[in-house]
Amino acid sequence: MSVHLGIDLGTQSVRAMAVDAAGQVLGSASRPLTSHRDGPRHEQDPEEWWRALAAATREALRGVPGPVAGLAVDATSGTLLLTDDSGAPLTPALMYDDRRAAAFTDRVNETGSAVWERLGYRRMQPNWALPKLLWLLQSPPEGGRLAHQSDFVNRRLTGRPVATDLSNALKTGVDLIEERWPYEVLDGLGVPAGMLPEVVRPGTRLGTVCAEAARVTGIPEGTPVIAGTTDGCAAQLGAGALRPGSWNSVLGTTLVLKGVTRELIHDPLGVVYSHRAPDGSWLPGGASSTGAGVLARDLPGRDLDALAGQALARYGTHGSPPITYPLVSRGERFPFAAAEAEGFTLGEPADDVDRYAAILLGAAFVERLCFDYLDLLGAPVDGEIILTGGATRSAYWNQLRADVLGRPVTLRENAEPALGMAVAAARAASAPRNVPEPAAVQTTSRAACQSLRLA
């Protein structure tokens, strides 16, 4: 039996999942992570990543039959640190949303404007990795080397230096078209070329699990280690949104859309940016600041299932409750950029049922606006729309979203990033360079799914 291992390095936990060739989950486990937050600061201890990963993989593989044919790791996008030549951390890890480097953003955008324009996103954002790297280089430790979150653990797994993948390197400024670092830009910013890892596409074999890592993690020595992706791209793989025109809409605390296109999308507003897929196609997407996080903020402690039943009885899925623009915090990122945007409600909610219905309807309309904007940019949006994320636990919300979008949507039983990394490992094992798309779809489509039609 072929077993593939996917590892998801999230913000709150590390999750490991062992999957067979038919997509059946044979074992899974997770371990929590600790964040250190203070205003714009958000750090984690890289050594905790490794300890949590080792504990999770040992449990996930306990009792799993057969050898592990390969593994891949995803990580939070834009998280980085500096290490020494042996891979030991020299700095804490600056997490994806650490904003202490905001003052460096203008310099990054001025110096690299031509490259960022050619790559379709025009401007880097304050929490992207390249401004954070400049922040770290104000007082650089001697011999420091750049490592993204996944690079750090892949180095531990293989016992030697590893390349970084294009997906995790996107926010550090990698040229996704030429598939190399833009050394002329980085030199102008004062980034030494010697501190940068090599760059490869996701799906590339990085090495094999070394003896020491096997002893600690329970992963058999010699298991191939495959270059993974960011957590968002991993969730897209897990959801099976792999064909051009198909989209994964993830609605949790915030809303994230990820799709597939043959050609690179250029966005004049700079709110949509594209990752590079293993086969050379493009994975455009955007992250809104709206989402279900507003429910916890505005309706704390309320029974949301009960509110859903009352909202359905009062309005159905075609009624007209008040409508809320459900911003989780100040500022919007997608489908438009507005740093000072604030949430608002049109109409006067009579009670918590109205407040609940207004939030759900507002989020559905923001999702529709995101798809309309992607269509305006020329991205194909006529394929399957797969809904994932915590919001899919609400049948009322799922139907409301299908009705607002005016088209069927699909729900997956399992679309975790760890599953996406197991799929990536399986694809690489079956064809190290490129896998025909139908093979990848077959790997994920066996998970139970449900389609919602218009009510």
Q: DSSP per residue over 226-285, as a string?
A: E---BHHHHHHHHHT--STT-EEEEESSSEEEEE-BSS----TTS--EEEEPTTS-EEEE
Residues 40-81: pLDDT tens digits?
A: 999 999 999 999 999 999 999 998 987 899 999 999 999 999
* 28, 66: one domain: yes
Clarify whether residues 173 and 246 are in a common domain: no
Q: Check residue 443 and give its pLDDT.
A: 30
My answer on whether 81 and 167 are in the same domain is yes
* Per-residue pLDDT tens digits for 330-376: 889 899 988 889 999 999 999 999 999 999 999 999 999 999 999 99
Which residues of 363-446 form beta strands (DSSP E)? 385-388, 409-412
In a domain, 444, yes or no: no
Q: Would you say residue 427 lies in a domain?
A: no
pLDDT at 440 over 80: no
Specify whether 81 is located in the same domain as 216.
yes
Predicted confidence at residue 253, as pLDDT, reads 85
Average pLDDT of the residues in 18-35: 93
| Domain match, 395 and 368 both | yes
Compute the distance between CA of residue 210 and CA of residue 5 in angstroms, rounded to an integer. 16
**Bridge partners (DSSP) listed for residue 344:** 325
Do the beta carbons of residue 352 and residue 310 sit within 8 Å?
Answer: no
- Dihedral class, residue 45 (left if φ above 0, else alpha if ψ from -120 to 50, else beta): beta
**CA 190-119-367 angle, 5° bins:** 120
Q: How many domains does the chain have?
A: 2
Q: How many residues does the chain have?
A: 455
In a domain, 319, yes or no: yes
Let me know whether 260 and 134 are in one domain.
no
* Inside any domain, residue 313: yes
Q: Provide the domain limits for residue 397.
A: 241-414
Lowest mean pLDDT among 4-13, 165-174, 414-423, 433-442: 433-442
Residue 278 to residue 3: CA distance in whole angstroms: 21
* pTM score: 0.86
Q: Is the pLDDT reported for residue 16 higher than 80? A: yes
pLDDT at 431: 60
State the pLDDT at residue 426: 92
User: Residue 129 pLDDT more than 60?
Assistant: yes
Q: H helices within 69-126, ranges in order? A: 105-111, 113-118
What mean pLDDT, rounded, does the chain reach? 91
Tens digits of per-residue pLDDT, 273-326?
999 988 889 999 998 999 999 999 999 999 999 999 999 999 987 888 999 999
Residues 361 and 266 in one domain: yes
Query: pLDDT digit string (tens) for 238-254?
Result: 999 989 999 999 998 88
Clarify whether residues 280 and 330 are in a common domain.
yes
CATH (domain of 74): 3.30.420.40
